[in-house]
Amino acid sequence: MTPSGPEPAPPGRTRRADAARNAALLLAAARELVAESGPEVALDEVARRAGVGNATLYRHFPTRADLLVAMYADEVAELCHQGADLPTGLSPADALFSWLDAFVVHVATKRPLALAATEGATGRRSALFDQWHTSIHTTASGLLRRAQDAGAVRPGLTVTDLLALAGGAALTATDVAHARRLTALLRGGLETGLETGD
């Protein structure tokens, strides 16, 4: 009896895999193009860079806003993932301020994308920003609580205070390097100098 090769994947599974791959290609291409020329990039150019047809692009992302929303949602997910995936050897204070540095860079560089993604859709903008804010707030809250439990950060500091201070630094700084410097200075005012081990 001749041994048979591996059974082919069911057509539905193959289509889903192809769709996921095309969506990933489109998002990667869009990130490159937005980094090069800003959120007003032509959708046809995104399709060309991704190596897919326009029909595939519009099937996944019917409008520019849909594409930009997906891009920014990925950026928020990556920021929150960084908070959950910090090196285990970091002290609670180092973990908090390492992530806060990433948050400041995110705000300083991704705000135009977030605004472009929700432009012209007031109700949708509110819902999306609430969703993204909740994710970031949850990540920051866990890191702040751990630092406070270790006695490293002022006990009266709230996560709302922390994000407002860091966000303010990001939005008022002259560039990303300046925002990161302001955040480092902020750390000196928020730490107690009394950190204990876990």
| Residue 68 structure tokens | 């930009």
Tell me what pLDDT residue 1 has.
45
At 103, the amino acid letter reads F
pLDDT band at 24 (very low <50, low <70, confident <90, very high): very high
For residues 138-159, average pLDDT: 96
pLDDT band at 10 (very low <50, low <70, confident <90, very high): low
Task: Report CA-CA distances (Å) from 183 to 13, 32, 102.
Answer: 47, 28, 10
At 192, the amino acid letter reads T
Task: Name the one residue in this structure whose structure tokens are 């020329």.
Answer: 37
- Tens digits of per-residue pLDDT, 165-193? 999 999 999 999 999 999 999 999 998 86
For residues 121-148, average pLDDT: 86
Structure pTM?
Answer: 0.81
- Tens digits of per-residue pLDDT, 69-78? 999 999 999 9
